[in-house]
Amino acid sequence: MQILKGTLPALYTPYKDDKSINEAEFLRLCEWGIANGLNGLFCNGSAGDSQAMPYEMKIKMLELSIKAANKKVPVICGIGSCIYQESLDLANEAYSKGADALLLMMPYYYKFNDDTLYAYVKDLQAKVKLPIYIYNIPLFAPAMSLNLIEKLSKLPNIVGMKDSSGDALLLNHILDVVPSDFDVFVGREEHYFGALMMGAKGSMTSAGCVFPDAMSAIYKAYNEKNYERAISIQKALLPAIRFGMSLSFPMGFALLLKVRGFAFANTSIHPLSEETQQALSNKFDYAKELVKKIEGVL
């Protein structure tokens, strides 16, 4: 069931000085991304601080994303939480407000075994009205085994997944065991071109938000079989991705967004250390050089 395809961003959240959402800037960011080739919008993910937000802020991010998409591209909403009822409530809100799909990571903190995780997802997917993409993100939530992924892929309302493991071997095995109409997306921008070659349908990444032009260009070059261009853009992104991950996540990528002309990296929903705050100031020029090199390849 192909609901999504191509390049989607893991959307970041811009804040005002009082830590409220900078709504105008978020809309501008989304509209800029769509104009630069994005095939959809992914809100309420890790990059957007969703797990640190009150429920009401998550609803606001959902509403803003749907407004920005303006029915030009689909919207997928993250519903991951260690609170089952919150995931279910957010799923229902996403349906009522006009989202197109849901993204569900495994519940964190409690160390459930595969049987319990399967029961959790099976129960939830039967109660919601939007199709669900499961989310493997070992960086923040329990890693999903290949056996669990295979079992979940056969549930009626589980239509695809996002894999942020960064494990090319695992991705290859996932693509081998899931049904042919089960759409797999990669969550690590370093591996976008390789994942497409393996059979992934697209990406949902931080770089998709910061560099929608570059990530969309990889997808376009792949479809045109211009593999040399796709590889050159992929390689050009690597230093910026390493930089983005070098600061307290997601502030490195926020600084890259600031370089690209958006009101980011001024504050965070989290308290920032003095060291991180100094880095955000001192590393602006270096981040600018990284962005310039990527823009030079496009």
Residues belonging to the active site:
135, 162
Of 257, 162, 170, residue with least CA distance to 207: 257
Q: Do the Cβ atoms of 205 and 215 come closer than 8 Å?
A: yes
CA distances from 74 to 5, 26, 61, 163, 297 (A): 10, 17, 15, 19, 28
CB-based contacts of 18, cutoff 8 Å, min separation 6: none
> Given phi > 0 = left and psi -120 to 50 = alpha, else beta, which region is 6?
left
Alpha helical stretches, state H, 137-265? 146-152, 168-177, 192-198, 206-210, 212-223, 227-246, 251-259
The residue among 298, 255, 10 whose CA lies nearest residue 140 is 10
Q: Which amino acid is at 172?
A: N
Minimal CA–CA distance to 14: which of 243, 260, 288, 290?
A: 260
Which residue is listed with tokens 């509403």?
A: 63
Which residue in the block uniquely carries the two structure tokens 């250390």?
273
Supply the DSSP string of 215-240, one letter for each residue. HHHHHHHHHTT-HHHHHHHHHHHHHH
- DSSP annotation of 52 reads G
